[in-house]
Structure 1
Amino acid sequence: MNHGLPGLEEIRQAAELVYETMPPTPQYKWPLLSARAGAEVWVKHENHSPVGAFKIRGGLVYMDWLKRSHPEVTTVVTATRGNHGQSIALAATRSGIRPVIVVPRGNSIEKNRAMRELGAELIEEGDDFQAALEHATKLEQENGWHWVPSYHPLLVTGVATAALEFLSAVPELDNLYVPIGMGSGISGMIAVRDALGLKTRIVGVISKHAPAFALSLAAGSVVEHPAATRIADGVACRKPTDTAIEVVRAGADRILQVDDDEVEAAMRFYFSDTHNLAEGAGAVGLAGLLQDRPRGGSRVGTVLGGGNVDSDVFAKVLHRAEGAAESGISALAAG
């Protein structure tokens, strides 16, 4: 496929591997969300995975390949804000491999605890994800450990299994809104859309406060830019990869940017309309879907990519006074 994207048979084989650890996650049409959006809204619930996020699929596929292809590897190292790290910790530990995970200082307390319980040796270093990543690559070079990147064809193949479930179950979506952090999720969705020959338009959604991906697309090359989102840390990308940029440029319809107020509103909407917990990055797609109304069509979808939000953070989101952004989204949704 274009830009090294996996084909249908490769994704189906990956799904069989993933299903040894977890069942397919559901996709539901939610009536209250549909009423809010003025369209039929389908949600893919990757928050229902064993680590509460879609990343587990990529970790399982990557570690299976690593164990078979490089049995000499005893330690892997990677950087994360939480969900990628949980995925690698679970998959590596199950494969008998030691996982060392680097997170930035001030990272989610509950995600850190979850990674440790899944077997990770956690190191806190740097002020943001990119700084943590640079420290992790330094550890790789100093110790001879195996580096697990945040974007890799095997990770894309793994997370594409969620896209295959979603688009097989609901193949006639007009628009599908997919959050973008480093890009594996949207790359998997593009791969499946193309492999199935569907007409669905895939719209990427990023945080307005972490614009590096959009700036890179506009420039035609990697552009580094600070990420300063207060709520959507899972998409706080400061420096995307060139491969992900090319995949999105070729396969996505367009990119939307949502601000933190819109994301927090979407988190509340998920809770009130579906009684599902969404972390900030997990709600970015819904925020984009609602911002885009009524342009998106009559049958639309999004991915609730993760529900791993700290309790105190979510409590503040729930109790935060409704601001102008939420009122604006509601007005658009009713229009």
Structure 2
Amino acid sequence: MSTTERVVSDMMISLADVEAARERLRGAIYCSPCAYSQMLSALTGQQVYLKLENLQMTGSFKERGALNRIALLTPEQAGRGVVAASAGNHAQGVAYHATKRGIRALIVMPLATPLVKVTATRGFGAEVVLHGANYDEAYEEARRICAAQEMTFIHPFDDPAVMAGQGTIGLELLEQVPGLEAVVVPVGGGGLIGGVACAIKESNPSIRVVGVQTSRLPSMAVAVEQHQPVTIPPGTTIADGIAVRRAGEVTLPVVERYVDEIVTVDEDEIASAILTLLEREKTLAEGAGAAGLAALIQKKTSLDGLRTAVVIGGGNIDVTLLSRIIERGLVQDGRMIRLRIHLLDKPGALAELTKLIAQHRANIVDTLYNRAYYGVNLGDTTIDITLETRGPEQVQELLAALDDGGYVYSRVI
């Protein structure tokens, strides 16, 4: 065995590691419910169970891995404290469980981190250092502080102990869903899916494990294809919890061994899944948390009719972003539409238009009436109208009525 092969072998986790992690976490981590969803099962054509990790104390599965790593600190390491780099869920998990055990926690967050996340991390007892324009720069600063102060760095995913902690979700799924046939897991750096897949496959190899990434940052899919971590170009996504540019060195071999399939979903599909969870399950998920369900709804996986557990990884979402996501989801589902309609500039023209809209039971949300722009002729005007509808069928009925009424219009996208 070469040196490289020996290092990889030493970093691989086992079922025993996950079971040991479960004992360390017992009594300190909430065993989140995994409820059957009749409505989502009907929508997807599968038997869907939702593993609600958004109900954890810090709103995310991340605290499982953080706590397992903290529990393995020696007394000397605990006395010097821990450091992490994160803009969200990992920061809060480390802060909460370190502080609860009287361990100093220092979190480096990018300068652009939303105030609500900074406040939440400080609220859990951590010292927060704002540094750098992005995660990479925050990570480098965290490593510098770690070395200078001889503290212990807790990586968000690329650590066997962190991976084993996340894997406890897999053990719970096996107990909560009798006859489990498939598990769908959001993927960023690979810590969550690596741990869950190890626990699942080592217990029952016939259960399929499917990973889901955002199409804007498919770092693990690229790494699996090229059999090595690859740094991909930066991108923005509403699934910021899985917005990882490079898969982990430790997690990749585990993913390659145990994961059956990795698929991607786009921004509109994620937004629609968030909206579906809110409306049909009364469950709030962040973008990364809803990615797995998005893959099922959009038929992106090879699963068909299987008894499937979907990990809802977290629910920490900024309310202003949530507002935009809801609106985007409504547009994606055909329940909100914006039309630019040309009218004669005469008394009663707008009243005739609104009467037609009312007859087809569409609700006007917003209007912008304009004579000077859009290149309209003198004597004409243009109005932008945003409408709420029941769905695509009602939209088609309304558009047909506009055609019959002789209106010139276009959809604003």
Q: CA RMSD in A?
A: 2.3
TM-fit CA distance, 1:10: 3.8
TM-fit CA distance, 1:123: 1.8
Q: How does 1:28-67 map to 2 (within 5 A)?
A: 28-67=35-74
Greater mean deviation of Cα atoms: 230-239 or 290-299: 290-299
Summarize deviations over 1:13-57 as a string: whole Å, max 9, x none: 322332322331100111111121121111101111111110111
The answer on whether the counterparts of 1:81 and 1:233 sit within 8 Å (CA) in structure 2 is no
The answer on whether the counterparts of 1:5 and 1:187 sit within 8 Å (CA) in structure 2 is no
Aligned to 1:268: 275
Stretches of structure 2 that go unaligned for 5 or more consecutive residues are 1-7, 335-390, 393-413
Aligned to 1:318: 326
Q: How many residues align?
A: 327
Summarize deviations over 1:158-214 as a string: whole Å, max 9, x none: 111111101222253333211111111101111111221241111111111112222
C-alpha distance 27-13 of structure 1, shift in aligned 2 (>3 A): same
TM-fit CA distance, 1:319: 2.5
C-alpha distance 78-195 of structure 1, shift in aligned 2 (>3 A): same
Aligned to 1:252: 259
Q: Match of 2:123, as an amino acid?
A: E
Summarize deviations over 1:61-89 as a string: whole Å, max 9, x none: 11111145x44642211111211111111
Aligned to 1:17: 24
Q: Match of 1:209, as an amino acid?
A: R
Does 1:195 pair with 2:202? yes
- Taking structure 2 as the reference length, the TM-score comes to 0.74
Does 1:300 pair with 2:308? yes
Summarize deviations over 1:207-230 as a string: whole Å, max 9, x none: 111122222221221210133233
Please say which structure displays the higher CA radius of gyration.
2
C-alpha distance 231-24 of structure 1, shift in aligned 2 (>3 A): same
Q: How does 1:71-86 map to 2 (within 5 A)?
A: 71=77, 73-86=79-92
C-alpha distance 173-10 of structure 1, shift in aligned 2 (>3 A): same
Q: How does 1:157-306 map to 2 (within 5 A)?
A: 157-292=164-299, 295-298=302-305, 299-306=307-314
Instruction: Give the one of 121, 128, 132 matched to 1:126.
Output: 132
Q: Match of 1:19, as an amino acid?
A: R
Greater mean deviation of Cα atoms: 196-205 or 266-275: 196-205
Q: Match of 1:154, as an amino acid?
A: A
Q: Match of 2:207, as an amino acid?
A: T
Aligned to 1:147: 153
Secondary structure of the 2:212 match is strand
- Taking structure 1 as the reference length, the TM-score comes to 0.90
Secondary structure of the 2:250 match is helix
**CA distance, structure 1, for counterparts of residue 69 and residue 35 of structure 2:** 29
Q: Match of 2:72, as an amino acid?
A: W
Q: Match of 1:167, as an amino acid?
A: L
The structure with the greater share of residues assigned to helix is 1
Stretches of structure 1 that go unaligned for 5 or more consecutive residues are none
Secondary structure of the 2:72 match is helix
